[in-house]
Amino acid sequence: MPICILSSHQKKKKKKKKKGYFNNIYGDKEYPCSFIKSITNGNKIKLINSKIEDVAVKFNIPFFDLYETILEITNTSFRNCISHYGYLVYMKPSKIFNNEILFLNVTNSNFNNISSLIQGDYSKMVIEKSEFSNIITRLSIPVIVNSLYSTISISDTIFRNITSYRSSIFGDESNYTFSNVKFLDIISNSIAMISIMYNSISLDNCVFSRILCNGDSDASSLILYNSNNNRTFTFKNSIINDCISNGDLLRFNGDRTAEISFHNVSVYNNVIYGSLVDNRALNSIFNINNSTFSDNKNINKYKFGLISNYNNANVCITKSNFINNILKYNGGTLSFINNNSLNIKIKSCLFERNQALNGAAIYINSKSLDYENSLIELLDTKFIKNKSKYFGGSIYSNFSNFKNLKITNVEFNENYAYAGGAIYIVYSESNNTLIDSKSFDVKFINNTSESHGNNYATQPYIIKVNEEYIKNKLYSGELLPLDFELLDNFNQTVYDISRMYQNMNLRVFRYNQEEEEEDNIIILSNDMCYFSKGIFLL
C-alpha cells in the first residue's frame, strides 16, 4: 500500500517529509499509487531535503496520486525512479484552470533516470534551479511534463543526456515560459523535441547545444510551433549550436497569424537536412534583431534556404549578421518562396561569405506575388564575398516591380556568381531601372561573374544583329556573313561559357520571300545558328 494517504479529514493540512530517504518502493496492485495519495481538494504536500532512489514500480500506478493537491518538491533528488505507469505524479484536474494556485512547485531538485515527472491538466506549475538527466524513454508520452491547458514556467534548469525515441519533452497544449534553461546532449526521434500547439512560448537566455533530431526525414525538428491568433513565439538572448536535424530545425505552421520574434540570438555550427527556420504560417510577423547566424549548413538538395518564409510574410531584420552559411540548394540565408504578399525590411545587416546554388544571401521566387501590396526595403546593409554557383552571388529575385523597392546605402563587395555577380533578376520590363534610378543608393565593388553581369544581370532577353556586317549593296556571288548577339535586360552580352542556358539555337528565315523579283534572288544557306560566347554565327 502507499506510504501515506491523505483523506478528507486531513483537508487543508500539510504533509511534510524532511530529510527522508526512500528506496526499493515497488507498489501494490490494490492501491492507485505507490508512495503518496491525496484524495481531498486543498491538501498540500511538501517533500524537502529528501532522496528517493532505486524504485521500480511494476504496476500501472504512479508514485503520487493527487486530487487538486499542492505538491512542493525542494532540495530533493529522484534517482532511478521508474514506474510502469509512465509518470511519477498524477494530478487529477479540476477542469477549471486556476491561475492563483500553484499546484506543482519544484525547486533545487535533481531527477536522474526517472519516468515522466507529471501528468495533470488545468494547472499552474513552476520548475526552477533543477536538473533532469540520464533519461531514456521509448514511451509515446512526453518525457518530462504532459499537461493540457496549463501555464508552466521553467527557469534556471538543465535538461541533459536525454534520449526519446517516440515523444517530445513537453506536452504541446500548454503555455510555456523558459528562462535560463539549458538543453544539452539530447537525442530525439520524435517529430519535434519541443512541440507547441496554439499557445504562446517564451525562451529567454536558453541554450540548445549538441541536440540530435533523428526522426523521419523532413519530419524531425528541434521546435515545432503551430500558431493561432494572439499567440507569440519569443526567442531572445539565446544560443543554438552544434545541433543536427533530419528535418527543418525550427518549424512554424498554422492557418492563423504567427508572431515570431528573435532578439539577441546566436545560431552557429548546425547541420540541418532542411532549413534552420521553415515558416509556413498562413500569415506571419517575423522579426529578427541583433542576432547572428553563422557556419550553418542546409544539406538538403531540395529544400530552400537557411531561413525560409512562405505565404503572407511581414519580415523585419535589423542589426543582424549572416556569415559563412552553406546551402546545397536554391536560396541563401533568407528565402521567400510562393508568397502571396511580401513585406521585407532589412536594415544594418551583414551578409558575408554565404554560399548557395542561387542567391546566396537573399532568394525571392514568388510567381503569384501581389506586387501592389508588397514592399522590399534594403537599408545600410553590406553583402560581402557571397558566392552562388549559378545566378545572383548575393541576391536572386523575381521581384521586378521597382516602384515598391527601396534601396539606401547598400554595398555589394567581391560577390561572385556564374551570372549576376551581385544581383540576378528574373525577366523585368523595367530595363536598367534597378541601377539607373536615382532613388537607389547602391555601391558595387569588385563583383565578378563568368557569363555576364559582374554586378547585375537577367536571363537572356533579346537577340541583336551585329550592324557592322550590314551592307546596302551585295554583288552577285558575294557572301554575307551575319552574327547575332545575345543580350540580357541590361544590354549586357550573355557569354554563357559553361552552357548554363542549354539548347539555345537560332534559325534565320527570309522575310517576304515570295515578293522578290526573279533577278534579285538571295540564296540563304546554313540557316541554323549555333551559340558560342555570346554570339550566334550564320
- pLDDT tens column, 469-527: 555 566 666 666 667 778 888 888 888 777 777 666 666 655 555 555 555 555 555 55
Residue 9's pLDDT is what?
40
Residue 41's pLDDT is what?
80
Tallying the residues shown for the chain, one arrives at 538
DSSP code per residue over 25-36 = ----TTSS-SSE
Q: What is the three-class DSSP state of 16?
A: strand
- H or E element in which residue 203 lies: strand 201-204
Q: What is the three-class DSSP state of 518?
A: coil
Q: What is the pLDDT of residues 254-304, one digit of tens each?
A: 887 889 999 999 999 999 999 999 999 999 999 999 999 999 999 998 889
pTM score, two decimals?
0.88
Q: What is the pLDDT of residues 359-399, one digit of tens each?
A: 999 999 887 777 778 889 999 999 999 999 999 999 998 87
Assess contact for 396 and 388: CB atoms under 8 A: yes
Closest of 432, 331, 435, 345 to residue 386, by C-alpha: 331
Give rounded-to-5 percent helix, strand, coil for the chain. Answer: 5, 50, 45
Which cell is 160 given?
541533459
Q: What is the three-class DSSP state of 505?
A: strand
User: Whole-angstrom Cα distance, residue 356 to residue 491?
Assistant: 26
Residue 5's pLDDT is what?
46
Assess contact for 138 and 166: CB atoms under 8 A: yes
Average pLDDT over all residues of the chain = 84
Q: Is pLDDT above 80 for 205?
A: yes
Strands (E), 400-446: 405-413, 416-419, 423-425, 442-445
Assess contact for 381 and 353: CB atoms under 8 A: no
